[in-house]
Chain A
Amino acid sequence: MTTPILTLTIDGRPVSGLATETVLQVAGENGIAIPTLCFLDGLSATGACRLCMVEIEGSAKLHPACVTPIQEGMVVTTQSERLRSYRRAIVQLLFAERNHVCAVCVSNGHCELQDLARELGIDHIDFPGRYPALAVDASHSRFVLDHNRCVLCTRCVRVCAEIEGAHTWDVKNRGIRSQIVADLDTPWGTSTTCTGCGKCVHVCPTGALSEKGRSVAEMQKKRPALPYLVANRAEERR
């Protein structure tokens, strides 16, 4: 059975895509940038960060582009004053949630959170910082997990479960106390499931996961590898 091809309008431009594709995919193919953070090509989409929310004509709600399949005749708006103010608020909430001090961060200059702030024109944070006292897990021989920089996008959790198949990472606690844990909340270095592949480090959008020995601004992630890996695996299975 062939997948139907649908046509729709994104930001006033007529575009087309397969019925199995999402608004985010089709927008990306057509060079329309929608801000994302938890989404990463090659991993399952969870719709958690809410940055890719778009307006769809005829619907009062906002829709996360990463998990919204396209529909025939859909009219999508990806940029509006309202969306921009929500996106700015969400990024600011993330900055205020933990201790994001760019000047002393290994990922300074190579950080997706920082890039988002720049794109959205955020030059200060309206909300007072919560400054939680969080630990740094440096028990692993090659990598470091710094909870202070974590935005809980769960890319590490997904890449470990979906691509590496180890499922070392998961989330403990609820709400504002949520935290990434290795195995059943053990120091990373003592994890019995971690294969040391380092995929989590390279998908992490911030400086929360980094390689040991990197100093300020030295941690550059090798992100483009993932889609090729996924594509090659799909090829092999066929």
Chain B
Amino acid sequence: MHREELAARAAEHQRRLDGFAHHILVCAGLGCPDNEAIIAALRRAVAERQMENRVLVRKAGCMGLCALGPIVLIQPGEIAYQTVRPDDAAAIVASLGQEPVQRLLLPPDLPFFARQHKNVLALSGRIDPESIDDYLAAGGYGALLTVLTGMRPVDVVRSIQESGLRGRGGAGYPTGLKWATVAKATGDRKYLICNGDEGDPGAFMDRSILESTPHAVLEGMIIAAYAVGASQGYIYVRAEYPLAVKRLRLAIREAERSNLLGRAICGSGFDLTLQIRLGAGAFVCGEETALIESVEGRRGIPRPRPPYPAEKGLWGCPTLINNVETYANIPPIVRNGAAWFAALGTDRSKGTKVFALTGKIRHTGLVEVPMGISLREIIFDIGGGIPDGHALKAVQTGGPSGGCIPADFLDTPVSYESLHELGSIMGSGGMIVIDETSSMIDVVRYFMEFCMEESCGKCVPCRAGTAQIHRLLTRFQERRATAADLAMLESLCDLVKHASLCGLGQSAPNPVLSTLRYFRQEYLDRMVPAEPDGEVQP
């Protein structure tokens, strides 16, 4: 389809949408219970009142406030209802054009919504994820057309470099630099991969993006493929995300039908095929080289780097591999310009970042904020603070690879550098809030158990080291640890961090190291005097 055809199709769909006096959007993510029943009940209520021509009930992506979901949004008017049940449908439909249903109403000025800066999530919850027309009508694929009709690949790469975008998967590698490396790599065949193997406990950013705006990820990937010269791409998604997979499949099919994927995309000379590969639930397959092994059909174990995938990746060819959220950032950057993106955030961490708020926090859910915002604003203003009158003890960022940041550092601006300085990492964006009722030893032992279970078993420090660290943490948990155990814990953490093969092992000790730094007393409180010499330990 050419530019004009797409524009006409978008305009026609918009006319159809404008024909309805009221739009009822229902949050239809994996985490919202009963949303299909709610949609059915709303449609029934609309039919009973014979308002089918005036009211459109649509499923929408995630609206972010999972703690109060499912959320139903009425437009025009931006009226949002919380924790809606199917039997609320009649009241909601009856109130259309009249006073809103007070008992379900979310306060319109809730800081949760007001304080966010939506860029990647801008269309999430606003459009039907299963309709390409909805995405087109909202300006979708416009960035792709801009690129295909007016930019050379080198211009796209330069634009991404100038934007300062850094990888949203965890390590924060400059995206533009990665693209430039793959673009310059020689070889007839190059590949493109989207890493959707989100595995950190408490992280659901990528799932939500894939479920809410699958076309935005595709658009980002198509632009990336054009920029680096790839003609074949894979999206690696966890099989545990059935809804994301279903919507991605549909999105790929619809994009193919509309000539946004396939041969001679939109009349240009550029071809791209995208395929889905399902992960079987191994955390280590989020590591790029293990993911590549898995796509190739082998056991998902990391390869030594270098060579990096940009040079030798999938089937030995230069491969661009980016995370879901990174690709979703591309269309807005192309649409609004690199300067717009670079103006957001801090000096070295640009743009916005999606965080998944979980743990002891009132507004569990998904938020998008500009880089540089303080942890305090995220947790207390947007997240609504700690429930049940408890006090904040620590924030765990970056999942099992990250660290625990104590309450004293709440005013730190969130950026790749500042979190690293505090002994944690940005990670993919999981943020677990811990209150004073939790023991840090329990938290850390949980994460170490996760790393031990998820270690691939290839390299010795990670395979055997995490098991020994886990044993030591169990001794602390059971209040049987000695000073010798503490010394051994510290030396093992040093070994696993510096001698492991891949990022999983290298970052596995981070939760222990950060709590030894900030919550050492909790370790000391759980120690017993050393056993006398000569006595055999149990």
Residues of A within 8 A of B (CB): 46-50, 53, 61-62, 64, 67, 85-86, 89-90, 93-94, 96-97, 126-128, 130, 151-152, 154, 170-171, 173-178
Contact A174 B501 (CB under 8 A): no
For A94, give its contact among B304, B464, B498 (CB under 8 Å).
Answer: B464
Contact A93 B501 (CB under 8 A): no
Q: Complex Cα distance A130/B472, Å?
A: 12
CB<8 Å pairs between A and B, sample of 18: A49-B459, A50-B461, A64-B304, A67-B304, A90-B495, A93-B468, A94-B460, A97-B467, A126-B488, A130-B467, A173-B457, A174-B454, A175-B452, A175-B454, A175-B466, A175-B467, A176-B466, A178-B456
Interface centre among B282, B462, B464 (most CB of A within 10 A): B464
Cβ of B537 under 8 Å from chain A: yes
For B161, the chain A residues whose CB sits under 8 A away are none
For B282, the chain A residues whose CB sits under 8 A away are 174
Q: Complex Cα distance A86/B493, Å?
A: 11
Contact B498 A48 (CB under 8 A): no
Cβ of B463 under 8 Å from chain A: yes
Chain B interface secondary structure, helix, strand, loop or mixed?
A: helix
State the Cβ distance, B493 to closest chain A Cβ, in Å: 11
Contact B460 A90 (CB under 8 A): yes
Q: Complex Cα distance A196/B235, Å?
A: 41
For A177, the chain B residues whose CB sits under 8 A away are 457
1/0 per position for B487-522, CB-CB distance to A under 8 A?
Answer: 010011001001111000000000000000000000
Cβ of B299 under 8 Å from chain A: yes
Q: Complex Cα distance A86/B463, Å?
A: 15
For B501, the chain A residues whose CB sits under 8 A away are 47-48, 50, 64
Q: Complex Cα distance A86/B500, Å?
A: 11
The count of residues in chain B whose C-beta lies closer than 8 Å to any C-beta of chain A is: 31
State the Cβ distance, A168 to closest chain B Cβ, in Å: 15
For A152, the chain B residues whose CB sits under 8 A away are 457, 460, 463
Are A175 and B463 also in contact (CB < 8 A) when A50-B500, A86-B498, A96-B468 are? Answer: yes
Q: Of all chain A residues, which has the CB nearest B501?
A: A47
1/0 per position for B170-201, CB-CB distance to A under 8 A?
Answer: 00000000000000000000000000000000
1/0 per position for B205-230, CB-CB distance to A under 8 A?
Answer: 00000000000000000000000000
Contact B461 A176 (CB under 8 A): no
Cβ of B253 under 8 Å from chain A: no
Closest 9 CB pairs of A and B: A178-B457, A175-B455, A93-B464, A47-B304, A176-B467, A67-B304, A97-B464, A50-B499, A175-B457
Q: Of all chain B residues, which has the CB nearest A61?
A: B498
Q: Complex Cα distance A50/B498, Å?
A: 10
For A126, the chain B residues whose CB sits under 8 A away are 488
Query: What's the A-B contact tally at a CB cutoff of 8 Å?
Result: 91
Cβ of B347 under 8 Å from chain A: no
- Per the 8 Å Cβ criterion, residues 410-444 of B in contact with A are none
Q: Complex Cα distance A53/B506, Å?
A: 14
1/0 per position for B285-307, CB-CB distance to A under 8 A?
Answer: 00000000000000100001000
Q: Of all chain A residues, which has the CB nearest B301?
A: A171
Cβ of B263 under 8 Å from chain A: no
Contact B457 A176 (CB under 8 A): yes
Q: Complex Cα distance A59/B455, Å?
A: 26
Contact B459 A50 (CB under 8 A): yes
Contact B499 A53 (CB under 8 A): yes
Contact B459 A89 (CB under 8 A): no
Q: Of all chain A residues, which has the CB nearest B465?
A: A93
Contact A48 B499 (CB under 8 A): no
Contact B456 A86 (CB under 8 A): no
1/0 per position for B468-481, CB-CB distance to A under 8 A?
Answer: 10010000000000
For A47, the chain B residues whose CB sits under 8 A away are 304, 459, 501
For B463, the chain A residues whose CB sits under 8 A away are 97, 152, 175-176, 178
Q: Complex Cα distance A170/B457, Å?
A: 13
For B457, give its contact among A49, A127, A130, A171 (CB under 8 Å).
Answer: A171
Contact A90 B461 (CB under 8 A): yes
Q: Of all chain B residues, which has the CB nearest A153?
A: B460
Q: Of all chain B residues, which has the CB nearest A152?
A: B457
Q: Complex Cα distance A48/B301, Å?
A: 10
Q: Complex Cα distance A152/B491, Å?
A: 23
Contact B471 A86 (CB under 8 A): no
Are A86 and B457 also in contact (CB < 8 A) when A93-B465, A97-B464, A175-B463 are? Answer: no
Cβ of B453 under 8 Å from chain A: yes
Q: Complex Cα distance A96/B537, Å?
A: 15
Contact B459 A171 (CB under 8 A): no
Cβ of B458 under 8 Å from chain A: yes
Q: Complex Cα distance A53/B495, Å?
A: 12
For A61, the chain B residues whose CB sits under 8 A away are 498
Q: Of all chain A residues, which has the CB nearest B457?
A: A178
Q: Of all chain B residues, which has the CB nearest A126?
A: B488
State the Cβ distance, A60 to closest chain B Cβ, in Å: 9
Are A48 and B460 also in contact (CB < 8 A) when A89-B491, A171-B299 are? Answer: yes
State the Cβ distance, A13 to closest chain B Cβ, in Å: 25
